[in-house]
Structure 1
Amino acid sequence: MKHRGRHRRRRRGAALRGVLTGTALALTAAATLISASQAQVTENPGALKPLTSPADTARLRLQERLVPARTLNRLAASMGRPVGVDAVLRSADHGMRESAGCSSADRATLPVAPAATRAYCWDRADTAGTGWRPASVTTSGDADDDGVWGSHRVVLSGWTHSTTVGRPAERGLARVAFVNADDPARLAYRWVLLVVPVQGGRNYRGLTAQVSGMVWYENKLLVTTSAGSADALYVYDLDRIQRTTVDGPGIGRVRGGWSADGYQYVMPTVGSYRFTAGRCASAGPPCPGALALDRGTVPDSLVAAEWTAPDGARNARLWRYRFSTDPAREGLLATDAAGRVDATEAYRSRTAGIRGVLSYRRPGADGTSWYVGHLPGSRDGHGGLWRQDTDGADGTRCGADASHRCWAESASSLSYWQETGEVWSLSDRMLFALPLAELDRSMG
């Protein structure tokens, strides 16, 4: 099985592009559901301000902490041989419906402009009053530049559970939908619960942190967690997915084997990154929110956006870290001899409530553009999407009053699939994709 960046293939035939781009969906219903209160024009965030002083950049420094191999091996020895992504996809037991088969309420959460070219709603059993909500998306287009993992095209979606509703046992947990996207008309997925090894690998617990961003790079999945967490990033290994043996409500070792609150698969943490300056705070390190991969840098880089309240006065920071080029450190960030990671670029944006970020050098552009999707001040309704650089900002517009409230409802993360030229994203009820070139055209 091909993975970890080896045997990269470029398959860019006209037939493939025809399947992936398709015909734009008829999403005019979403436009009609924007209320007058939602049609307020968002203030232009203007140009990005570079952050270059040591005081600013030091707040972004990370310390790498890897889980000892003996801990992970002890867990695997007890649970059984780890499985890979293929095994999870083969057992997909939830179907997704294309936009035409989704409810009008689902479709109303999609972007107004530009319209999605593909959109899917989740199994109703996963969205109807469960307390679970989608928060992030990444794809096999991030994992490998040919867009394929093994023989599959895959979308991963991170979900987080509310701490106030639903069964007490699942409150605050995080899970990932492994979506088989080989056939654009028939997406199907399987859940994997995120867990943390404890007791030296003799047990595990659920990851009880609100997931906000994800990037799948090579064989690693990097995940940002809730504001206030000591760990800025958790790291998971796609080659270390474990099967559970007991279908019960417990999480971890139970009588008769291993359980995960009914989930068949768990993925244990293999490492984390913490800010050396401490927990996130207004005068210290940022609270990391959105993540994305940028393949336009050498080496590839991880870009991040700070989470700030959408109705607050504090503006967000945007920054990037290099990925390691050491074959023994697949999917990990580049560190110095002491395991520290320094940001290679950082900016201040006059934007708050960022839920999605991308960094991309457009053809013919002088520099890199940063795309930020953010929530409105009320935290509900359609959000905005802006393209910023050090010269200024442009945003999507819609409606007779040229509102900037055109992006998805409860706007979420962004992931660029380089091979197809598509951006994947989420509303609070739909998974969707559209060409990056169409985003740019909508901004002028």
Structure 2
Amino acid sequence: MQHRGRHRRRRRGRALRASLAGTALALTAAATLISTSQAAGGRTPGALSSITSAAELRGLQLRETLTDRAELRALTDDMGGPVGVDEVLASANHAMRDESDCFDSEQDNLPVEPVASRAYCWEPGDAVDDRWIPRSVTTSRDNQVIAAGWTHSGAESGTPDADGGSGADDSGLARVAFVDAADPANLRYRWVLLVVPTADARGFEGLRSRLGGMAWYEDKLIVTARGPESRGGQDDSLYVFDLSRFLRADVTDSEAIGRADDGWSAHHYRYALPAVAAYHPAAGEGCDARGDHDGAACLGSLSLDRTSIPPTVVANERSRPGDEEPARVWRYSLDITADRTGLLTTTGRRGAAVATEAYETEASGVRGVLAHKGDWYVDQSAEKPDGHGTLWRQDEDGADAAKCADGGPSGTSGSDLESYACWGRDSASLSYSPATGELWTLTDPIPERVLYAVKLNDVDSSLN
């Protein structure tokens, strides 16, 4: 009995040691998981999930409304005829600063990994003007012109200058900086007010928009904006502008928009750009910012995918950091027929533009989206204030992002852990330029507003 007891005690000892070893392994695994989670700077969004629900896809449908051509022609003639991009650029009256002239606080917003191929900062007056917020960027095909969209915050600080007024009534007005980028060492820009033609005596009114996204295809500029049924200042529509039809205002000392007593005014701006088409939610209701996916989507940003056939505009749903609901990303086909180039492809008698591809992403706080050669690039905002964001490359198989030292390039946090938070701070919107292979974006906080580019090949080679 004593012999059998010793064997039982030995077996119990081995079982106890095995149990302790298992516990140690479990603790080690848990520590590894915690370390991995910390190294990731938060969980990855994983793979994109295809949206197949007919109801959800219907919520992404837009209905086309075209500006009356005869009325637009009459307005243009009354204002002295159409103006092209070349004249606007030739009159550029603002100069951008290159990276070496940017302040440290501005340069701190640049990405850690991969590094920017070039960067520019705005003229000092625009860099600190809290009335206007930079939201989006796009480029011409040859990258000779960069367009940056800004929206009015409604703030009343500052005084009107030669390029815009101020006041709460201006909230949501949209202007675009057309930047002459032909000489990379000497970027200059001119402000242009976006307007919508009206049937009354005013002739046109200011477009209201967060201007979270823009896409430039051929001679058309497509932007996100508020539709007539918009709720809570959300962008739920797309507006299209013809870049061969700028209007020249002859009254520049008035805050009026449209016909003034002695001519035409564009709110102190020399040039206005009128919409030629609009696309509103097909259901006739504004978007729902709650993100329950039952209705129209609140548009966050927009970009152009030239690699799809036909070319498409890619949109993402506006979302906030920490949102538990997934955000939608999707695309609309562009028309390539001669008389409709740059408009959305529509079907049926009611002119419906339908999403040709749609996914859900688990990334929260999505600030921009780009599709290129089948991959989706998603700009996710920082998890903590003043932190760097993350640029994910996603598809239906998973997600990848660059890693860098936690705390920035100098490891200021004192940690040896790595983080996915390597993209720029407070970046907004993404745009790809095929002529240079660069991915463009910009940042919006004062006084850290930067326009910069990163080689897309560098983005891909930095992914883990």
Offset from partner CA, 1:357-391 (integer Å, 9 cap, x none) = 11112xxxxxx211010222456542111111001
Bigger Rg over Cα: 2
2:286 is aligned with 1:279: yes
Q: 1:232 aligns with which of 237, 240, 264?
A: 237
Q: 1:353 aligns with which of 362, 365, 369?
A: 365
CA 1:379–1:323 in structure 2 vs 1: closer, same or farther (change >3 Å)?
farther
Alpha-carbon distance, 1:342 to partner: 1.1
Equivalent-residue separation in structure 2 for 1:194 and 1:323 (angstroms):
21
CA 1:329–1:206 in structure 2 vs 1: closer, same or farther (change >3 Å)?
same
Alpha-carbon distance, 1:219 to partner: 1.1
4+ runs of 1 displaced by more than 6 Å?
none
Alpha-carbon distance, 1:353 to partner: 1.6
Equivalent-residue separation in structure 2 for 1:165 and 1:274 (angstroms):
30
Q: 1:413 aligns with which of 400, 416, 429?
A: 429
SS at match of 1:156: strand
Equivalent-residue separation in structure 2 for 1:268 and 1:221 (angstroms):
11
CA 1:258–1:307 in structure 2 vs 1: closer, same or farther (change >3 Å)?
same
Is the contact between residue 57 and residue 355 of structure 2 (CA under 8 Å) also seen in structure 1?
A: yes
> Could you say what the CA RMSD is over the residues aligned between the two structures, in angstroms?
1.9
Q: 1:248-259 counterparts in 2 under 5 A?
A: 248=253, 249-259=255-265
Alpha-carbon distance, 1:127 to partner: 1.9
What one-letter code is carried by the residue in structure 2 that aligns with 1:353?
G
Q: 1:55-70 counterparts in 2 under 5 A?
A: 55-70=55-70
Identify the residue that residue 157 of structure 1 maps to in structure 2.
148
Is the contact between residue 311 and residue 376 of structure 1 (CA under 8 Å) also seen in structure 2?
A: no
Equivalent-residue separation in structure 1 for 2:418 and 2:235 (angstroms):
41
CA 1:44–1:231 in structure 2 vs 1: closer, same or farther (change >3 Å)?
closer
- Percent pairwise identity: 46
Alpha-carbon distance, 1:355 to partner: 1.4
Offset from partner CA, 1:217-263 (integer Å, 9 cap, x none) = 11111101257357510111111100110112222211111112211
Alpha-carbon distance, 1:191 to partner: 0.4
Identify the residue that residue 35 of structure 1 maps to in structure 2.
none
Q: 1:96-245 counterparts in 2 under 5 A?
A: 96-141=96-141, 147=142, 153-166=144-157, 167-168=166-167, 170-200=170-200, 202-225=202-225, 228=231, 229=234, 231-245=236-250
Structure 1 alignment gaps of length 5 or more? 1-37, 142-146, 362-367
Is the contact between residue 165 and residue 171 of structure 1 (CA under 8 Å) also seen in structure 2?
A: no
SS at match of 2:425: coil
Equivalent-residue separation in structure 2 for 1:158 and 1:258 (angstroms):
23
SS at match of 1:262: coil
Identify the residue that residue 16 of structure 2 maps to in structure 1.
none
Is the contact between residue 236 and residue 298 of structure 2 (CA under 8 Å) also seen in structure 1?
A: no
What one-letter code is carried by the residue in structure 1 that aligns with 2:360?
R
Alpha-carbon distance, 1:196 to partner: 1.4
Is the contact between residue 75 and residue 202 of structure 1 (CA under 8 Å) also seen in structure 2?
A: no
Is the contact between residue 224 and residue 235 of structure 2 (CA under 8 Å) also seen in structure 1?
A: no
Equivalent-residue separation in structure 2 for 1:411 and 1:47 (angstroms):
23
Offset from partner CA, 1:174-222 (integer Å, 9 cap, x none) = 1000000111111100000111112357422111222100001111111
Identify the residue that residue 263 of structure 1 maps to in structure 2.
269
Q: What TM-score do you get using the length of structure 1 for normalisation?
A: 0.84
Equivalent-residue separation in structure 2 for 1:193 and 1:42 (angstroms):
40
Identify the residue that residue 14 of structure 1 maps to in structure 2.
none
Q: What TM-score do you get using the length of structure 2 for normalisation?
A: 0.81
Q: 1:31-110 counterparts in 2 under 5 A?
A: 41-110=41-110
Is the contact between residue 138 and residue 431 of structure 2 (CA under 8 Å) also seen in structure 1?
A: yes
Identify the residue that residue 309 of structure 1 maps to in structure 2.
320
SS at match of 1:412: strand
